[in-house]
Amino acid sequence: MSYDKVEVPEDGEAITLADEETGELDVPENPIIPIIHGDGIGTDVGPAAQQVLDAAAEATGRSIAWMRVYAGASARDKYGENLPEDTVSAIREHRVAIKGPLTTPVGSGFRSLNVALRKTLDAYANVRPTYYLDGVPSPVKAPEKMDMVIFRENTEDVYAGIEWEAGTDEVETVRAFVEDEMGVDDVIHDGPVGIGIKPITEFGSKRLIREAFDYALENDRDSVTLVHKGNIMKFTEAAFRDWGYELAEEEYGDELITEDELWDEHDGDQPEGTVVVKDRIADNMLQQVLTRTDEYDVIATMNLNGDYFSDAAGAQIGGLGIAPGINRGHGRALAEPVHGSAPKYAGEDKVNPTAMILSGREMLDYLGWKDAADLVRDAVEETISSGKVTYDLHRQIDGGEKLATSEFADAIVENIEKLS
Ligand code: NAD
């Protein structure tokens, strides 16, 4: 494919789909990987992540041929548009990419570029690994108990964008339909109303939960917890739970066991190689994540619950500067940190690039480069636990050495060289 607004690196090869059915990729040793540095602090954390990921690739005998693509402010400056078609096509064609944060204006202006990108790639699973790194200051007593991977559904729920504004003809049409055709009386108060629709499909639920089950089995995890509010929302959130158990039975046989089976048939002694499937009500789960942290492992949940839950869990292990993420679809992935563009710190070479670097680590893992991924994690942990940190962590610890974004990236690269 040729592009006007993207330069294709000459020293790399494209990642291709090896198996249409499973989504498995064929990854060369020098893959072309599109990168969006992003808006605001993206200009600081983007290059820092690139430097660290290059070092990890090199230390494991590989290389990354970066393909700079543009979105947000950088695309407006260069091409006068927010999201050039070439950016989307390059990411689609090359299958695995990484992006920094993009600014979204509240209430007006253009719709979120992040949402647009995830939608175009049909990246239906937002995966947020939430684990503790030694040395990171935390607001809880035992942050090391946290080691969860949260799978948040990315395309449905009240986030699907099916909603109508108060005072419009459309919303009154929906109100009339609900009241007159569906017979829902005395629920919607008189006067202006905004209405949204919450679609939860069997297809969307099962493909998300399948990703979580497969991940748990491949990575020797103990359990997958389906988090829902099915006691109140019976036909959406309870359906998600039911489809999860149905999928476990239909496709996984003895590899997956329910919590009841664990106790009734195995006296609580989990057989080797199995994953326990359990479910919890969302509000209870927000307590349990604090009080019984180490009883939870892989989590699968819908869009809104997942948004709240992953930020709450992320706070326990050090918050926004640390929390990584990756959006995964069928043979496609887009890694991105959880944090936004924090415009007031943009270009100051000050903020913490850990979240972007660890998102890159998830990307390496998705490529199947587990050795390089582990090296990144170990080098980041080694750097932070030796007291070398950026300002956000430095102000929360005693002593330590306050480093700029670029100096912190240099220190991680040094540790990669030492550890490899
Ligand atoms: P934000 O994450 O940008 O910043 C909130 C605060 O968190 C910052 O002021 C800063 O104190 C801290 N912070 C964030 N990242 C940090 C880092 N790497 N190191 C140190 N401290 C860090 O959230 P916001 O202010 O609500 O959003 C700003 C913009 O970012 C908005 O336009 C929003 O829409 C966008 N946003 C984008 C994404 C994305 O691209 N995926 C995600 C969230 C927000």
Mutational test site, ligand 1, from 83, 341, 351, max ligand atoms within 8 Å of CB? 341
Residue 213: Cβ within 10 Å count: 25
The closest-lying atom of ligand 1 relative to the alpha carbon of residue 38 is: 40
Please tell me the residue having the least CA distance from ligand 1 atom 16: 321
Give 290-317 pLDDT, tens digit per residue. 999 999 999 999 999 999 999 999 999 9
- List the one residue out of 69, 141, 89 whose CA is nearest residue 290: 141
Instruction: Compute the distance from residue 179 Cα to the ligand 1 centre, in Å.
Output: 41
Would you call 348 helix, strand, or coil by DSSP?
coil
pTM, rounded to two decimals:
0.93
Please tell me the residue having the least CA distance from ligand 1 atom 22: 321
Mutational test site, ligand 1, from 339, 356, 402, max ligand atoms within 8 Å of CB? 339
Task: Check pLDDT > 90 for residue 335.
Answer: yes
Give 57-103 pLDDT, tens digit per residue. 999 999 999 999 999 999 998 898 889 999 999 999 999 999 999 98
- Across the range 246-273, mean pLDDT stands at 95
- Using alpha carbons only, give the angle 307, 313, 315 rounded to the nearest 5 degrees: 105
Share of the chain above pLDDT 70, in %: 98
36: CB partners within 8 A, 6+ apart:
42, 46, 69, 70, 71, 72, 74, 87, 97, 98, 99, 100, 102
- What is the spatial distance between Cα 49 and Cα 359, in angstroms, rounded to a whole number? 9
| Kind of pairing between the strands at 298-301 and 147-153 | parallel
398 is a catalytic site residue: no
Hey, what domains does the chain have and what are their CATH numbers?
1-137+318-419 (3.40.718.10)
DSSP states of 63-125: --EEEE---THHHHHHHSSSS-HHHHHHHHHH-EEEE------SSSSSPPHHHHHHHHTT--E
Q: Mean pLDDT check: name the lowest of 54-58, 80-84, 388-392.
A: 80-84
Give 233-245 pLDDT, tens digit per residue. 999 999 999 999 9
pLDDT confidence bin for 185, thresholds 50/70/90:
confident
Task: Check pLDDT > 80 for residue 9.
Answer: yes
- List the one residue out of 301, 337, 310 whose CA is nearest residue 321: 337
Please tell me the residue having the least CA distance from ligand 1 atom 23: 340
Question: What local confidence, expressed as pLDDT, does residue 113 receive?
Answer: 83
